[in-house]
Amino acid sequence: MDPVGIAIIGGGIFVKEQHIPAALESPLLSIKAIWSRSLKTAEEAAKLIPGEAAPVDLYSSDSGSGKSYEDILKRKDITGVILALPIVDQPAYIEKALAAGKHVLAEKPIAKDIATAVKLIEYYKKVSAETNASLAIAENFRFLQGWAYGAEEVKKLGKVTGFVVRMNSMMEKSNKYYNTPWRTVPEYQGGFLLDGGVHFTASLRKLLGKENAVESLIAQTSLVSSHLPPVDSINAVVKTKSGAVGSYITSVGSKMEAFDFHIECEQGVVKAEGAKVVTIRGIGKDAVTEEKVFEKSSGVKEEVHAWAESILSGIPNPNQTPELALGDLELMEKMLTSGDQDGARQKLEYQHFV
């Protein structure tokens, strides 16, 4: 079977460091074209394609007639597109690709807010019924083994009774991601908290499972570091439909460092840190501790290959559905909204997608 012909849409940091290498590694995919806003950026991305690979055609907004994004979508040898564009721009590109019958793998978050995401999903369902095109959202944390293992460990320990999530870091001005204009001056809620934060709401939702879906929350937000507007810190109290109450503490402008997810259950505790998961069964001196360490990975190679498999099988990967991404976005947005409203309680409605 011939590999699936795809186009890479975008030429930024993540495309060059993750998407292109992942697509090259999958034997199921063949990169046919790259599009970026500028030809220069497309050319830089194309340099990563080895000489022995099939020629890659370059398209851009400044390349003139016959080299636009729409021209890529007309190509019969291109079955799918991997999209990694600024958050506010991406939904329009997704819709165009779906309308052209192309399968889409789009970077998270699914959209800048819940309303835009819901509208996009409604459009997708309508168009896919006519074109059979699929929409997958690239949340690579769902392809990290640690989170899946941690979720299974939680299930073994009985009812969830509480949880604590702590993620503190500093997004410095020297960081390569900070120095992308659309991130430095964000036109979307939460700034860096939204952009990277959906990784962590996805992780928490995976660990808690459907039976412990978040039902409501209250939160306070603040701007600790002035170069990270509009806010860079969240302190939230979260309640699940099962009655468990937990805290969600995160900052991208903090001098403190933390990255841990603690899920307390009737029969023990699971501590997840991405590549390492510690399970404590029992209490006190009788407790038994087990640690499992996984190979460090971004999860991108796994998610891109899984997307390719879904195109060939015609069955969407359950870890890439747009509804899952909507749930990740909703949890983050409701914390930001509560903070904007001085801690007003927020009800959630899309958390059953787990």
Neighbouring residues of 10: CB distance < 8 A, sequence distance ≥ 6: 19, 35, 36, 83, 84, 85
Provide the 3-class DSSP secondary structure of residue 171. coil
- How far is the C-alpha of 298 from the C-alpha of 143, rounded, in Å? 8
68-112 pLDDT per residue, tens: 999 999 999 999 999 999 999 999 999 999 999 999 999 999 999
Q: For residue 328, give both structure tokens.
A: 């990740």
Supply the pLDDT for residue 54: 73
Beta strands in 84-232 (DSSP E): 103-107, 135-138, 160-170, 214-222
Supply the pLDDT for residue 53: 72
- How far is the C-alpha of 82 from the C-alpha of 311, rounded, in Å? 13
Q: Greatest CA span in the chain, whole angstroms?
A: 73
For the chain, the average pLDDT equals: 95
Q: What is the sign, positive or negative, of the torsion defined by CA atoms of 223, 225, 229, 235?
A: negative
203-212 pLDDT per residue, tens: 999 999 999 9
For the entire predicted model, the pTM comes to 0.95
Supply the pLDDT for residue 177: 87
Provide the 3-class DSSP secondary structure of residue 218. strand
For residue 188, what pLDDT band results from cuts at 50, 70 and 90? confident
- How far is the C-alpha of 118 from the C-alpha of 309, rounded, in Å? 26
Burial class (CB in 10 A: 0-12, 13-18, 19+), 275: middle
pLDDT of 274 > 90? The answer is: no
DSSP secondary structure string, 3-42?
A: PEEEEEE--SHHIIIIIHHHHHH-TTEEEEEEEESSHHHH
Phi and psi torsions of 352, nearest 5°:
-75, -10
Neighbouring residues of 320: CB distance < 8 A, sequence distance ≥ 6: 105, 136, 137, 138, 139, 142, 303, 306, 307, 310
Neighbouring residues of 217: CB distance < 8 A, sequence distance ≥ 6: 236, 237, 238, 239, 248, 331, 334, 335, 338, 345, 346, 348
Residue 2 CB neighbours (<10 A): 7
**Over pLDDT 70: what percentage of the chain?**
100
| Alpha carbon 11 to chain centroid, angstroms | 18
Q: Which of 265, 261, 233, 268 is nearest to 247 (CA)?
A: 261
- How far is the C-alpha of 157 from the C-alpha of 180, rounded, in Å? 44
DSSP secondary structure string, 49-83?
A: S-TTSPP-EEEETTS-TT-SHHHHHT-TT--EEEE
197-253 pLDDT per residue, tens: 999 999 999 999 999 999 999 999 999 999 999 999 999 999 999 999 999 999 999
